[in-house]
Homo-oligomer: A and B are copies of this chain.
């Protein structure tokens, strides 16, 4: 079980490493080789199907000159050959601008669902969304 968690966490980390490196081949390897994969980029509508999902990543990576993720609250949960990882993506990115390069930071919360295929954990669903609520979030504490 500990090994499973480590493997799931490695698969989760690889998603962000592939993005940071802008590596299309690594991104393709992250995703399950199935047509029911689906992906929501922050603020986007749903993208479905392997080819469209990978194309969306290629478009995003081609338009990102620099990005770095600091993951916090990484929380894996495994159920047989399925795993859910939720995490906070603390993002530092550079955006090309006519007046020079701007740095931006953002907070995104993501749900990543993996399935194990032939011993490898591959990404089935990625859903990222912008955190718009004030720090600390709405009042739901007990």
Contacts and interface: CB of A to CB of B under 8 A. Distances in A.
Interface residues of A, number: 46
B125 A111 contact: yes
State how many copies of this chain the complex holds.
2
Contacts of A127: 40, 111, 127, 129
Contacts of A115: 79
Nearest to A49: B142
B77 A79 contact: no
A120 interface: no
A142 B52 contact: yes
A140 B52 contact: yes
Nearest to A76: B36
Given A46-B73, A84-B125, 11 more contacts: A43-B132, A45-B109, A45-B133, A47-B140, A59-B138, A59-B139, A79-B124, A80-B81, A80-B82, A127-B129, A129-B130
